[in-house]
Structure 1
Amino acid sequence: MLDFFQSIGGFIMTPLYYVISAILVGFHKVWGAAFGPETGVAWVLSIICLTLVIRILLIPLFVKQIKSSRNMQLIQPKVKELQKKYGHDREKLAQETMALYKETGTNPFASCLPIILQMPIFLALFRLIDQAAKKPGSPKGLMTEQLNRQFGDAVFLGAKISDTFLSTDLIGVRILAAVLVLSMTATTFLTQRQLMSKNMPADALSGPYAQQQKLLLYVLPLVFAVGGIAFPVGVLFYWTTSNLWTMGQQFYVIRNNPAPGTPAFKAKQDRDKAKAARKGVKPDAEVSQEDLDAAEAARVEQERRTAQRQQPKRQTRSQRKKP
């Protein structure tokens, strides 16, 4: 049975080793030419660039996550109504809630998808670094023995890329690892806190969805803090960079496209009004000028499509002959 699961794991991870190592080696050629192929700077920058490539590829999933999270926030009043109506019947409540999710195109677990999909990539990078440090003569993916030795022995700020907080007694290495673990933990917490404090309406701050968000707020940083002391320095750079990307991406979305009824939405309305006032425009008190422009554009587009769908009335032969 163990061999079966190992074969399944190898079947899944082997393609990832090739993909991750191909991106890593490609960037290492660039940074290695600039700083030297054996330097820690070249390998750390390659890991950071790898992270950015992965996060760019995950942007469509992030957009889906944002839409689903917004739907979860907006349907909370309906969820509460269902809880009041079917609170005595758990099976019926579950059926009606799932029907509501399906009707609104909402996935209650969408907020976890980016983390779930990144875990195999995280494990692949972890194994590449571990292999480079412990078995440089058995490279994985597109890593060669020479690259493995460079990767495993590369030093950045006094610490090897493959060092962990637990694997060394050197104070400098432990300080660097601790700083990276704290950075990874803090950015995880702040990203989730940013979502809850800025882009969740008051109705969404209670109930099952709020409990799920609070669980993510406190449990995820704790998991990363405990597990982080066993992560190699290179993996800590990957995850911290990924968290910083998430914070910036989420900040941009919340600022420019916030959910209605949230503090971020009110802040955007205030900015739109101030901008309109500077230009001498007086938009509606409750709707920003951008919303009005979008609505007008949608109306024009709908009229255009309607006109295209309209077919000319059929005429008799005598009518067609008339001038």
Structure 2
Amino acid sequence: MTFSFLNPLYTAVSWIIVQFHSLYSHVFDPDGGWAWGLSIVSMVIVIRICLIPLFVKQIKATRAMQAIQPKMKAIQERYKNDRQRQSEEMMKLYKEAGTNPFSSCLPILVQAPFFTALYGVLASVANDKTIGVINSDLLNSAQQAHIFGAPLSATFLGSDEVSVKIVVAIMIVLMSLSQFITQRQLMTKNMDLTVKTPFMQQQKMLMYVFPIMFAVMGINFPVGVLVYWLTTNVWSMGQQLIVIRNNPTPGSKAWDERQTRLKKAGRLNPDGSVKKVGLLATLSGGGGKPAATSAAAVVEETVQVRRQQPRKQSKAQRQHASGQPVVGEPGQDQAAADAPQTDLTKHDAVPAGSPVSKQPVGKAGTRQQPKRGGQRPKKKP
């Protein structure tokens, strides 16, 4: 094979397709277009699920580009006569923000190897050559498969039948149109159009360049590849609609629409924050209070509870509180035990009721330990 470094990709792509084909063969004709077409669609879904973390990273990078737009505009105005310095400052700003203007192209770049591998697999099927895990039996089955009357490996330029050209042309138009709609909804609904920056110009350019590029290249794509790109574009469109509706960029048209929906539903606080509902409301304190306020209230309540806890008492203090005779002072009544006692020295008085006040005092203010056998210390005459 000419491109030997692509063999692992050929094997991986063909293996995924064959596994889904064996699954769909239980329902559809193994040699029909439904079994092979759905196998390609299922492969796209598997790839896009694996790319969800990259899609999340793309959203964060795009939001970072939105956040630095005012700084980008300031750099443009400051160095409008020095293009080189302007480019240097822009690259420095991108590095500090951890983003770049081409972050939105990441999903397409990552899918490029899979697209190339699928193109090679279908080209081998058209040229009657086995590839990857597709053996001669599977090769014959794939060659018989037709999608809406067009062979799986047929191309617009490589087919002489008018019906096949019409099917391929419709698929090319749908592929390009879905690409344009996806990029346009990102531009018109999820970006702050009040600030004109190079990032906005780049996104606007991509909105027109990508569809045209795919339309020109699509005339050489096999039907199976067109199915691949049409499926991935539809996936991107739906995925982006969900993100734009539930997590729009602040300041965009979609953000204003979301705030209006939340206000009508009564879920918007006066400060602009969203009220929690259900379990989230319970955890955050309920009543529409912000989570930060509820958390502060919980902390304050915990501190107050801790302050109300009684301190640990000594054995002598517990005996005094219960009215029992204190050790070292048998026979004294409760009044004598409660009377204030002072040391023989001229220092500070010992608080009444403390363990120290219950011990006999000797010379120089030192306490004498009681002797063994229960004998009391001798009193000083």
Partner of 1:183: 174
1:10 aligns with 2:4: yes
Structure 2 alignment gaps of length 5 or more = 300-353, 356-381
Query: Aligned partners of 1:262 and 1:147: how far apart in 2?
Result: 50
1:231 aligns with 2:221: yes
Query: Aligned partners of 2:166 and 2:35: how far apart in 1?
Result: 21
Partner of 1:274: 264
Q: How many residues align?
A: 295
Match of 1:222 among 192, 195, 212: 212
Query: Aligned partners of 1:256 and 1:60: how far apart in 2?
Result: 18
Taking a change above 3 Å as real, the CA distance of residues 140 and 80 of structure 1, as seen in their structure-2 partners, is same
Query: Aligned partners of 1:28 and 1:242: how far apart in 2?
Result: 19
Which structure's residues are more often helix, by fraction? 1
Task: Tell me which amino acid in the other structure corresponds to 2:166.
Answer: I
Contact 1:133 1:151 in 2 (8 A): no
Match of 2:68 among 70, 75, 85: 75
The structural deviation recorded for 1:118 is 1.1
Partner of 1:194: 185
Partner of 1:283: 269
Query: Aligned partners of 1:54 and 1:241: how far apart in 2?
Result: 11
Alignment RMSD (CA, Å) = 2.8
TM-score where L is the length of structure 2: 0.71
Match of 2:97 among 98, 104, 111: 104
Match of 2:155 among 155, 164, 173: 164
Taking a change above 3 Å as real, the CA distance of residues 282 and 164 of structure 1, as seen in their structure-2 partners, is closer
Partner of 2:57: 64
Query: Aligned partners of 1:227 and 1:112: how far apart in 2?
Result: 18
The structural deviation recorded for 1:246 is 0.2
Taking a change above 3 Å as real, the CA distance of residues 249 and 160 of structure 1, as seen in their structure-2 partners, is same
Contact 1:198 1:263 in 2 (8 A): yes
Partner of 1:90: 83
Partner of 1:120: 113
Taking a change above 3 Å as real, the CA distance of residues 78 and 299 of structure 1, as seen in their structure-2 partners, is farther
The structural deviation recorded for 1:211 is 1.5
Query: Aligned partners of 1:155 and 1:92: how far apart in 2?
Result: 57
Moved over 3 A (4+): 88-92, 285-288, 290-305
Taking a change above 3 Å as real, the CA distance of residues 28 and 10 of structure 1, as seen in their structure-2 partners, is same
Contact 1:269 1:287 in 2 (8 A): no
Q: Aligned runs of 1:302-321 on 2, under 5 Å?
A: none
The structural deviation recorded for 1:93 is 2.5
TM-score where L is the length of structure 1: 0.83
The structural deviation recorded for 1:14 is 1.4
Q: Deviations over 1:172-202 (max 9, x none)?
A: 2111111100000000000000000000102
Task: Tell me which amino acid in the other structure corresponds to 2:149.
Answer: G
Taking a change above 3 Å as real, the CA distance of residues 169 and 97 of structure 1, as seen in their structure-2 partners, is same
Structure 1 alignment gaps of length 5 or more = 1-5, 306-321
The structural deviation recorded for 1:299 is 7.5
Query: Aligned partners of 1:244 and 1:150: how far apart in 2?
Result: 27
